[in-house]
Structure 1
Amino acid sequence: MNRKAETAVPDLSGRRAVITGGSDGMGLQIAARIAAAGAEVVLPVRNRKKGEAAVSAIRRESPRSRVELADLDLSSLGSIAAFGQKVRDAGAPIHMLINNAGVMTPPARTTTAEGLELQFGTNHLGHFALTAQLFPMLSAGRARVSTQLSVAARSGEINWSDLNWERSYSGMKAYQQSKIALGLFALELDRRSRAEGWGLSSNITHPGIAPTSLLAARPELGRAQPTHGRRLIRALSRMGVTGTAESAGMPAVVAATAEDAQGGQFWSPDGFQRLAGAPALQKLYAPLTDRHAAARIWTVSEELAGVSFPAA
């Protein structure tokens, strides 16, 4: 299911994009499409070797592409702060931020460098802190922030009494929480930018289902082998029921680059159950419509991450 020929990307010459999770799979496909359209792409990665391979792959496809590798571990607030300082010191405006990286359902409860549950701390809080650290350059570039969710966010809830899942851990429920929190933040970011004149816009996306590295063997998460789910998804992808790494990345590419994409929108595949297909708009999942929860997660996240956005 190759959507490359079906989905045009506008000329992005003179634009600068920061893309997390771009070292393999869907994130690499997103980065490759945006680099091929002429944008200068910054790829912050945790694994430098994988990052170098990704840059080589992008340049093989688009020899004139401009790709810069940087170090970033989204499970470490210290690493996020260091990357943010480096970007601010460089002084170049950012026109696109794609919050794409993520971890999913480690077999046992795992924590970040600061002791937070890994999925909440990486998927949501890591991107919250990153956006705050990059805020001056995002505002300067009148950026569009596009944040990658998951079909898992269509149900579930925020475990307000135990955000860290210390009392009763469920990997899938914690994953759902991380993606719901991330979506609530992204939508609240757009509302606050409009109200306060920050100059940026923020929308959300989800990739449907595709055989990406989320459920692959991840020794650093305690997963020695790919999950059964990944093997099933790979088989369904070959049958055309679910997407590919390339097609799954296209909603994020469109949300970040299309002239008619706007803040507050939700982009996803358009096929059956939104599992695969071409990028299209869809209604917000019910858990993402709670504005009180969005304001609450914003405040809690500023406290946990030790960062802040301009005061209202």
Structure 2
Amino acid sequence: MSQDTRGNTRTIVITGGNSGLGYGCAQALLGSDNGSWHVVIASRDADRAQTAVDALAAGAAAGHTVEAMVLDLASLASVRSFVAELTERLATGALPPLHALVCNAGVQMGTTLAKTADGFEATFGVNHLGHFALVNGLLPVLRAPSRVVVVSSGTHDPALKLGPPPAWNDPQALAQGQLGPAAAKLNALMTGQARYCTSKLANVYFTYALARRLPAGVTANAFDPGMMLGTALGRSLPAPLRFASERIFPRITWLLRRTITDNINTAQESGRALAWVVTAPELAGATGKYFDLRQEKRTSEESYDAARAEQLWNDSLALTGVAATR
């Protein structure tokens, strides 16, 4: 690509932006009148990403553009390749300056212990370690003003009773799928859910530790999209639960809002809120915060354990082989 000539346009990278929340966020950004954005849909499936890009481009407002790049967060080699390509394109002016990195992609495994290409338990490997390596690899190009937004979940907080509580353990053990004592009596399905909740707690620890390391003008915040129905997040769940999640629950959203929680949203609703956190001028100075949609909130009591967050940071450096640049 030749030298970029789009003036004030800035780049926003969204992992997993080809569906669900990431797609909803991209859709909101590309339809907004708040800035001029070049959205990079980073996805492991090139064909699905291009299909999403074609649909997003067709509905984009004037001044916005979108493209796809391949990124598999379950492979550190893929993360390194993506970082190298993006860095090169930014350096040569082939891409507009980087405004934000949205760490959205995630997996929620079922009853099996799946592994990444590098041998890590897949939930922890993708939801935390892959994004950790990605963000750290791109730290040199995250120059002020820029933002990192990490998608977490209310499931990290046992007080909300949205699932089994996180079962924290030594990060080296979590990387091998070994949960802490809180998961000792859980069945296989609930153990899979606990791995997801624990990875979302890791997202909060990561966000807080990152915010403490970033220079002025570069921010890091976590985002809770609420409960979303009809997304691909539960694609690894047992077939009956997957069917209910994808086909039944979205049809009875009104009932679930009245009987379970009113924080149940479509991917488009949560996507618009995520786009706000990513671009809102009034949040330029906000860092180390947690947003439940558009509302700043405290996270779980457990999530403020700074020593645990630092251990996670240091162990993640060792696990991913990322050099400490800050």
Change (3 A) 1:215 1:135: closer
Give the aligned partner of residue 150 of structure 1.
Answer: 153
Summarize the Cα distance change of 1:212–1:144 in structure 2 as closer, same or farther, 3 Å threshold. farther
2:298 counterpart of 1:283: yes
Which residue does the alignment assign to 2:18? 23
| 1:234 equivalenced with 2:250 (yes/no) | yes
1:93-112 mapped onto 2 (5 Å cutoff): 93-112=97-116
Q: Are the equivalent residues in 1 in contact too, given 2:20–2:232 (CA < 8 A)?
A: no
Tell me, in whole angstroms, the C-alpha distance in 2 between the residues paired with 1:104 and 1:41: 25
Alignment of 1:75-224 (within 5 A): 75-90=74-89, 91=91, 92=95, 93-138=97-142, 140-155=143-158, 156-160=166-170, 162-163=173-174, 164-166=176-178, 170-193=191-214, 197=215, 199-216=217-234, 218=235, 221=236
Any stretches of 5+ residues in structure 1 without a counterpart?
A: 1-11, 270-278
CA distance in 2, matches of 1:287, 1:143: 28
Q: Which has the larger radius of gyration?
A: 2
Q: What is the CA–CA distance in structure 2 between the aligned matches of 1:151 and 1:230, rounded to whole Å?
A: 20
Contact 1:26 1:212 in 2 (8 A): no
Q: In the TM superposition, what is the alpha-carbon distance from 1:215 to its structure 2 partner?
A: 4.2
How much is the aligned-residue C-alpha RMSD, in angstroms? 2.3
* Deviation (angstroms), 1:227: 4.9
1:297 match = 312
- Cα offsets for 1:197-217 (capped at 9, x unmatched): 36411001110011142444x
- Gaps (5+ residues) in structure 2? 1-6, 159-165, 258-263
User: In the alignment, residue 108 of structure 1 is paired with which amino acid?
Assistant: T
63-72 or 157-166: bigger deviation: 157-166
Relative to structure 1, the CA distance from residue 290 to residue 189 in structure 2 (aligned partners, 3 Å threshold; closer, same or farther) is: same
Q: CA, structure 1 residues 240+166, in 2 after alignment: closer, same or farther (shift >3 Å)?
A: closer
Which residue in 2 is equivalent to 1:58? 56
User: Structure 1 residues 208, 233: closer, same or farther in 2, change over 3 A?
Assistant: farther
What is the match of residue 46 of structure 1? 44
Paired residue secondary structure (1:34) = helix
- Contact 2:106 2:233 survives alignment (8 Å): no
1:266 aligns with 2:290: yes
SS in 2 for 1:159: coil
Q: Deviations over 1:257-288 (max 9, x none)?
A: 1122211111114xxxxxxxxx2121222232
2:109 touches 2:237 (CA, 8 Å); kept in 1?
no
- Amino acid paired to 1:154: D
| Distance in 2 of aligned mates of 1:250 and 1:285 | 25
- 1:35 alignment counterpart: 30
TM-score (norm 1): 0.84
- Structure 1 residues 48-102: Cα deviation after superposition (integer angstroms, max 9, x where no partner): 1111111111112116431121000000000000000001111253111111110
* Alignment: residue pair count: 284
Instruction: Indicate the percent of aligned positions where both proteins have the same amino acid.
Output: 29
Distance 1:16 1:294 in 2: 29
Q: Which residue of 2 aligns with 1:7?
A: none
Question: Residue 273 of structure 2 corresponds to which residue in structure 1?
Answer: 251
1:276 is matched with which residue?
Answer: none
Structure 2 length-normalised TM: 0.80
Runs of 4+ in 1 over 6 A off after TM superposition: none
Range 97-106 or range 56-65, more displaced: 56-65
The answer on whether the counterparts of 2:13 and 2:100 sit within 8 Å (CA) in structure 1 is yes
Contact 2:139 2:325 in 1 (8 A): no
